[in-house]
């Protein structure tokens, strides 16, 4: 008979970043700074790389969980990406070793039943805007819905002459955006750029965004998506102040 209590897992939201901080050496007092927690994602382009976000779970009495699979799936339950949550009880010496070897995070587990705030990352692409489910598979080998996120597409009109002049005159404004999406398995990739002025010297390494094909499929067929959102909207990042060039390497 399985006496392990069924774990209770709550989907708290999706966020931009989680920074785990500890004011002293006891992991029991680790706390999370959570940036941009929400139940939706706005994006200028699709595919959207899931590795840019963290998904926040609340796990009740986590030591009873041991292991669970969490996945993101579309409305038809097609799996997009999957990860494993594994809770292990370790001692102080093991903590340092684990931190050196991998990305595992340590938390203090109280002796009494309590909620643990736990974040996970997926490695995958959301190809289309829409609603997506987060599901859990625990001891009974059945996928159960934890909740949903909406991925919104935010189209932006082409830049006007005035907007281009403003971007040119601002030294901190982004003037060129390069993105790459590459399959880790077959190494085939799509490399694209947008800029306030077309730069022929970047081509053919990077394709001018308006000249992309209708769709992309890597050689091993693990990655496939429509290019229409990049074609329509990659210029939306121009003028922004943050770093937007990115290379997405995906399995």
* Cα–Cα–Cα angle for 45, 248, 236, rounded to 5 degrees: 25
Q: How far is the CB of 191 from Zn ion (least distance, A)?
A: 15
Phi/psi at 204 (nearest 5 deg)?
A: -95, 10
31 dihedral zone (left: phi>0; alpha: psi -120 to 50; beta):
beta
Residue 230 lies near Zn ion (rule: CB under 5 A) = no
Q: Which of 137, 178, 185, 246 binds Zn ion (CB under 5 A)?
A: 185
Q: Which of 11, 218, 236, 238 binds Zn ion (CB under 5 A)?
A: 218
209, two tokens: 């965004």
Q: Which of 10, 28, 186, 251 binds Zn ion (CB under 5 A)?
A: 186
* Cβ–Cβ under 8 Å, residues 55 and 6: no
**Paired sense of beta strands 143-153 and 40-43, if any:** parallel
Pick 69 or 226: Cβ nearer Zn ion: 226
For Zn ion (CB under 5 A), the number of binding residues is 6
| Pattern 89-128, Zn ion, x by CB under 5 A | ----------------------------------------
**Paired sense of beta strands 207-208 and 189-195, if any:** parallel
Residue 210 lies near Zn ion (rule: CB under 5 A) = no
Q: Which stretch binds Zn ion (CB under 5 A): 99-107, 128-136, 202-210, 219-227?
A: 219-227
Q: How many helices (H) and strands (E) does the chain have?
A: 3, 18
Q: How far is the CB of 115 from Zn ion (least distance, A)?
A: 39
Q: Which stretch binds Zn ion (CB under 5 A): 105-113, 154-162, 214-222, 231-239?
A: 214-222
Residue 222 lies near Zn ion (rule: CB under 5 A) = yes
Report which of 18, 112, 123 is spatially closest to residue 62, judged by C-alpha positions: 112
Residue 183 lies near Zn ion (rule: CB under 5 A) = yes
Cis amide bond preceding 11, omega within 30: no
Interactions with Zn ion, residue window 26-85 (CB under 5 A)? none
- Interface contacts to Zn ion, rule CB under 5 A: 183, 185-186, 218, 220, 222
């Amino acid at each position: 008979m399985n006496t392990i209590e069924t774990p209770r897992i709550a989907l708290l939201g999706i966020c931009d970043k989680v920074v785990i901080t500890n004011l002293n050496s006891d992991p029991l007092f680790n706390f999370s700074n959570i940036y941009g927690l929400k139940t939706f994602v706005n994006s200028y382009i699709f595919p959207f790389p899931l590795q840019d976000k963290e998904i926040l779970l609340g796990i009740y009495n986590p030591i009873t969980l041991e292991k669970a699979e969490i996945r993101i799936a579309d409305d038809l339950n097609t799996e997009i990406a999957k990860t494993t949550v594994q809770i292990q009880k370790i001692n102080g010496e093991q903590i340092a070793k684990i931190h050196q070897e991998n990305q595992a995070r340590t938390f203090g587990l109280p002796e009494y039943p309590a909620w643990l705030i736990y974040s996970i990352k997926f490695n995958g692409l959301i190809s289309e805007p829409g609603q997506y489910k987060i599901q859990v598979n625990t001891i009974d080998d059945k996928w159960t819905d934890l909740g949903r996120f909406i991925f919104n597409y935010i189209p932006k009109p082409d830049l006007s002459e005035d907007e281009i002049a403003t971007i040119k005159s601002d030294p901190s404004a982004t003037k060129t955006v390069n993105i790459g999406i590459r399959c880790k398995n077959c190494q085939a990739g799509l490399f694209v750029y947008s800029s306030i002025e077309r730069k022929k010297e970047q081509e053919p390494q990077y394709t001018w965004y308006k000249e992309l094909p209708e769709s992309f499929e890597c050689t091993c067929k693990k990655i496939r998506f429509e290019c229409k959102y990049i074609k329509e909207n990659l210029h939306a990042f121009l003028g922004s102040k943050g770093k937007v060039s990115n290379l997405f390497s995906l399995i």
